[in-house]
Chains A and B, each alone.
Chain A
Amino acid sequence: MTDWHQRESYSYDRNVIAEIRRAANTGIYRIRGWGAKRELPTLDDLVLLGASMSRYPLEGYREACGTDLTIGAETAENPISLDIPITIAGMSFGSLSANAKEALGRGANAAGTSTTTGDGGMTPEERTHSATLVYQYLPSRYGMNPDDLRKADAIEVVVGQGAKPGGGGMLMGQKITERVGEMRDLPVGIDQRSACRHPDWTGPDDLAIKIIELREIVDWKVPVYVKVGAARPYYDTALAVKAGADAVVVDGMQGGTAATQDVFIEHVGIPTIAAIPEAVRALKDLGVHRGRVKLIAAGGIRSGADVAKALALGADATSIGTAALIAIGDNDPAYDDEYRQLGSAAGVWEDFQAGTDPAGITTQDPTLSSRLDPVIGGRRLANYLQVLTLETQTLARACGKSHVTNLEPEDLAALTVEAAAMAKVPLAGTSWIPGET
């Protein structure tokens, strides 16, 4: 008997079959954390064109290569000053343990960058442990408090998130403890499904007024960002600028989440490599690129190479979430046995919604949370951020740049036709940009 009829289906591989069986058993869509896991065009599809005869590199280990960034200098009494072009993305207390939030704050402080609150408001501990803290202003307004708004170093109006543009957040009942429920004014144990749109404004004209209100309430002291999930980045960025944002955060579909539908994570939004050039085009059309309005690119930023390429495409900074969690201990192989007991394994754990994280990061369980030493976690994050920065500088110097934001599309080439079309840089070895040349 031949086994040709036993081959695995491409369309119905084992993961697809398992998901159909799971759906048939439970009657509920798959909810999980992390970001898109399927193969997508990424910044790996680009390469930097280091200097040679026609370009002059900077001395790699010695010559200065600036990494600093200021946001809101033209509108805010107290602009944000960052030492490195890598920020920590919004992640809530509730989705993360208090120790995880503390570790993020400690690491960011050491590296000279900012952290960001999340759905659920600001905790006193978070404010204490983050020297530069961006306060997210979300559709749910859970925990929204003007006292906290005034304590923030910047305000980020969240319109959307890369993992779920057009969707609201989730926090499953296992993680709605008494403290989390009290902060959000929700009954303990409910499956929280956050609003997907703001309750008191409906479009960009309204948003412009909302931003004025926010600035008035904080007496124009701090910058205001607008965060969008990458879907239509040209228009979203243009409208955010029109509304008065000091910075636009564009979050590609690789961006992570604490919990949402798998179908949302994998099938809504566009990859970061495609989003950045469109956002930059909007900023250039409005005459604010590398000027009054900064662009922060997020979604799948993992290395200094990703940072350098994002900056070369025109971003002013990047933001990391998933990578920061990994740095402080998420998916730690030391807990592999426990991950396996949960039906997963170190390296593929994605059930951030479950509250059972053996590493003590995406949980509210006090026993599990206590496993994460926030001081050690902070040191790990600081080290990781240092590596990202050093890598970015190394690559920028190789391209002859004395500041990382001097990187430009001319420093890039694409390895695939798709990447060339999305990033709007030439296919390597050619001068061809699909759709443009």
Chain B
Amino acid sequence: MTVFDMAEVSLRELNQALHDATDGEFEVVNPRGAHAVASGIDSEISVTIDGPVGYYCAGMHQRGSVQVNGNASAGLAENIMSGTVRITGSATMSAGATGHGGLVVIEGNAGARCGISMKGVDIVVGGNVGHMTAFMAQSGNLVVLGDAGADLGDSLYEANLFIRGSVESLGADCVEKELRPEHIETLRQLLAAAGMDADPTDFTRYGSARTLYNFHIDDIDAELAGGAS
């Protein structure tokens, strides 16, 4: 285990060391809310961060794992490609934004726009999520054990949203959908991967009504021409 004390090591030195590593375990202490901690990891390393982190912790994460023992600010694991990012506390806005793959686990709550524009990532939130969660979410799965704020899944594409608690309101084109056996199995696997104890059948699935996928274009002239012929 290699330990980096951010009271003594700069962000640049820390991230460069993590980028240069190809394997191994690392511990970061005294992060003190620093931004971009452990961003850009691209190898099978394991990083544990003891304390709160600022914006974009584990941004663009690939392979390997990052665990934050504390809270995180905006953009936790934004654009994650693969691997795992776990946080024992809560995350503010845009956690897992645009993630293309991998798993993000937030044991506490997530703020606004969790999973915004997600593109294949799986996100599991132990607590509640804020407004505009999964806005324009394209694919992947979002699991929320608590409640969801207003405008859940606005302008959703093909992502699946599983909410165990209440939903303040659904966004445009987001609708409740049947929880079929394959979804229950997906939920079971995600809950197990996240280490969360919950019954998959207690969740409600939300998805896209797909009414916004294409413009609705009238053509009165063609209709009249067709009627005349």
Write the A9-41 contact mask toward B (1 if CB under 8 angstroms, else 0): 000000000000000111110000000000000
A-B contact pairs, 20 of them (CB 8 A): A25-B218, A25-B220, A26-B217, A27-B218, A141-B97, A141-B117, A144-B79, A185-B120, A186-B138, A187-B158, A191-B213, A200-B56, A200-B97, A200-B113, A201-B74, A206-B55, A206-B74, A213-B75, A216-B39, A217-B60
Query: Are A200 and B158 in contact, CB atoms less than 8 angstroms apart?
Result: no
| Interface flags, A264-299, vs B, CB<8A=1, else 0 | 000000000000000000000000000000000000
Q: Is the CB of A220 within 8 A of B98?
A: no
Binds A, one of B10-18, B143-151, B164-172: B10-18
Contact B94 A213 (CB under 8 A): no
* Contact for B42 among A28, A146, A216, CB less than 8 A: A146
Quick one: CB contact mask for A36-52 with B, threshold 8 Å, 1 for yes?
00000000000000000
Q: Residue-by-residue, is B12-29 near A (CB-CB < 8 Å gives 1, otherwise 0)?
A: 100110010000000000
Are A199 and B98 in contact, CB atoms less than 8 angstroms apart? Answer: yes
Query: Of B36, B135, B218, which one neighbours A212 at CB under 8 angstroms?
Result: B36
A233 nearest CB across to chain B (Å): 27
| CB contact list, A158-206 vs B, under 8 A | 173, 185-187, 189-191, 195, 199-201, 206
Q: Does A302 contact B (CB under 8 A)?
A: no
Chain B, Cβ-Cβ closest to A27: B218
B75 touches A201 (CB 8 A): yes
Complex Cα distance, B222 from A25, in Å, reads 9
Residues of chain B in range 204-226 having any CB-CB distance to chain A below 8 Å: 213-221
In the complex, the answer to whether A141 meets B39 with C-beta atoms within 8 Å is no
Using A141-B98, A217-B40 as known contacts, say yes or no to A200 and B217 having CB atoms under 8 A apart: no
List the 5 closest pairs (A to B, CB-CB), nearest first: A217-B40, A200-B75, A141-B98, A200-B94, A146-B60
Q: Is B122 an interface residue (CB 8 A)?
A: no
Number of B interface residues in the complex (CB < 8 A): 46
Contact A145 B100 (CB under 8 A): yes
Q: How far is the CA of A209 from the CA of B57 in the complex (A)?
A: 11
**In the assembly, what is the distance between CA of A146 and CA of B100, in Å?**
11
Contact partners of A147 in chain B: CB under 8 A: 42, 62
Residues of chain B contacted by A218 (CB below 8 angstroms): 40
Closest beta carbon of chain A to B141's beta carbon, Å? 14
Seed contacts A213-B35, A216-B36; 12 additional CB < 8 Å A-B pairs: A28-B215, A144-B100, A147-B42, A187-B158, A190-B213, A191-B213, A195-B117, A199-B78, A200-B93, A209-B35, A213-B56, A218-B40
| B40 surroundings in chain A (CB, below 8 A) | 146, 216-219
Q: Which residues of chain A have C-beta atoms less than 8 A from B59's C-beta?
A: 213, 217
Mark contacts of A413-425 with chain B using CB atoms, 8 A cut-off: 1 yes-contact digit, 0 otherwise: 0000000000000
Residues of A within 8 A of B104 (CB): none
Q: A141 — which chain B residues lie within 8 A by C-beta?
A: 79, 97-98, 117, 119
Q: In the docked arrangement, what's the CA distance between A209 and B78, Å?
A: 13
Q: In the bound complex, do residue B60 and residue A199 qualify as a contact, i.e. CB atoms below 8 Å apart?
A: no
**Cβ of A186: which chain B residues have Cβ within 8 Å of it?**
138, 157
Interface of chain A residues 132 through 163 with chain B (CB within 8 A): 140-141, 144-147, 149
Is residue A129 contacting chain B, with contact meaning CB distance below 8 A? no
Chain A residues contacting B136 (CB-CB under 8 Å) are: 195
Judging by beta carbons under 8 Å apart, are B213 and A209 in contact? no
Residues of chain B with a CB closer than 8 A to A212's CB: 35-36
Chain A residues with CB below 8 A from B113, complex form: 199-200
Candidates A140, A190, A209; contact of B117 at CB < 8 Å:
A140
Q: Inside 8 A of A144's CB, which chain B residues have their CB?
A: 79, 98, 100
The closest CB in chain B to the CB of A189 belongs to B214
Secondary structure of the A contact surface, majority rule: loop
Interface size class of A (residues with CB under 8 A): 20 to 34
Q: How distant is the Cα of A218 from the Cα of B157 in the complex, in angstroms? A: 31
- B64 in contact (CB, < 8 A): no
Q: Name the contact of B55 in the complex, choosing from A28, A146, A213 (C-beta under 8 A).
A: A213
B81 beta carbon closer than 8 Å to chain A: yes
- A26, A140, A146, A173: which contacts B218 (Cβ < 8 A)? A26
Cα distance, A146 to B218, chains bound together (Å): 42
Out of B116, B139, B157, B219, name the residue touching A199 (CB < 8 Å).
B116
> Inside 8 A of B200's CB, which chain A residues have their CB?
none
Residues of A within 8 A of B117 (CB): 140-141, 195, 199
Report whether A185 and B39 are in contact in the complex, using a CB–CB cutoff of 8 Å: no
- Minimum Cβ distance to chain B for residue A355 (Å): 14
Task: Name A27's contact: one of B16, B116, B217 (CB within 8 Å).
Answer: B217
Within the assembled complex, what's the spacing in Å between the Cα atoms of A24 and B15? 58
A224: min CB distance to chain B, Å: 13
Residue of A nearest to B132 (CB): A199
A216-B221 contact, Cβ under 8 Å, with A195-B136, A200-B97, A209-B56: no
A187 CA to B81 CA in the complex, in Å? 20
Given the complex, which residues of A lie within 8 Å of B215, measured CB to CB? 28, 191
In this complex, which of B56, B138, B157, B218 has the most chain A Cβ atoms within 10 angstroms of its Cβ? B56
Is B52 part of the contact surface with A, judged by Cβ < 8 Å? no
Check: B126 CB closer than 8 A to any chain A CB.
Answer: no
**Residue B54, interface by CB 8 Å:** yes
Q: Given A25-B220, A26-B219, A191-B215, are A209 and B158 neighbors across the interface (CB < 8 Å)?
A: no
With both chains docked as a complex, state the minimum distance between the C-beta of A195 and any C-beta of chain B, in angstroms.
6
A218–B78 alpha-carbon span in the complex (Å): 15
Docked-complex contact A25 and B94, CB < 8 angstroms? no
CA–CA, A149 to B81, complex, Å?
Answer: 13
B214 near A173: Cβ-Cβ < 8 Å: yes
B74: chain A residues within 8 A (beta carbon): 200-201, 206
Q: Which of A24, A26, A210 contacts B56 (CB 8 A)?
A: A210
A190 close to B214 (CB less than 8 A): yes
CA distance A200 to B15 in the complex (A): 21
Q: Which residues of B contact A187 (CB under 8 A)?
A: 157-158, 213
